[in-house]
Amino acid sequence: AQSVTQPDIHITVSEGASLELRCNYSYGATPYLFWYVQSPGQGLQLLLKYFSGDTLVQGIKGFEAEFKRSQSSFNLRKPSVHWSDAAEYFCAVGNKAAGNKLTFGGGTRVLVKP
C-alpha cells in the first residue's frame, strides 16, 4: 500500500525567504508524485508532478521539487516566498497498479509573515 507523510503541520516563513516542505512516501516501486496547493475553501491546484526521468521537477509559481529515491522523499522548494503563497500544501502519491488513485499526505499549512 502507498502512503505519504508530511512531517510539518505548520510552517511560518517571512516574505522573501526560502521555503522547503517535506514529503516522504512509502511505495515499493517508483511512484507518481505530486504537489498540490489549496487556498481556504478552494479546490486543489497542481503545482508539479513527477512520473520518471529528471529527478528535479519545475512547477508553476516558481516551485520546484526533487525526487530522492534513496530517501523516499519529494520535497518542495521555493527560493523566495510571496505573501500569496500562504496556503495549504498537499503531497500525493499514486501508481499505475493502484489505478492511479492518489493518496494524500496530511498537508502543511504555510503562513507568510510580512
Partner 1 sequence: AAGVIQSPRHLIKEKRETATLKCYPIPRHDTVYWYQQGPGQDPQFLISFYEKMQSDKGSIPDRFSAQQFSDYHSELNMSSLELGDSALYFCASSLTASTGELFFGEGSRLTVL
Interface region with partner 1, contact rule CB under 8 A, candidates 15-23, 62-70, 71-79, 102-110: 102-110
Q: Binding to partner 1 by residue 72, rule CB under 8 A?
A: no
Q: Which of 22, 44, 66, 75 binds partner 1 (CB under 8 A)?
A: 44
Q: Residue 83 to residues 61, 62, 89: CA-CA distances in angstroms? A: 12, 13, 15
Q: Binding to partner 1 by residue 101, rule CB under 8 A?
A: yes
Cell numbers at 39, concatenated: 487556498
Residue 76's identity, in one-letter code, is L
The footprint of partner 1 on this chain (CB under 8 A) covers a number of residues equal to 23
Kindly report the number of other CB atoms within 10 A of residue 56's CB atom.
11
Kindly report the number of other CB atoms within 10 A of residue 2's CB atom.
19
Contacts of 55 by beta carbon, 8 Å cutoff, 6+ apart: 66, 67, 68, 69
Q: Which of residues 15-34 bind partner 1 (CB under 8 A)?
A: 32, 34
Q: Binding to partner 1 by residue 10, rule CB under 8 A?
A: no
Positions in the binding site for partner 1 (CB under 8 A) = 32, 34, 41-44, 46, 49, 51, 90, 94-96, 98-107
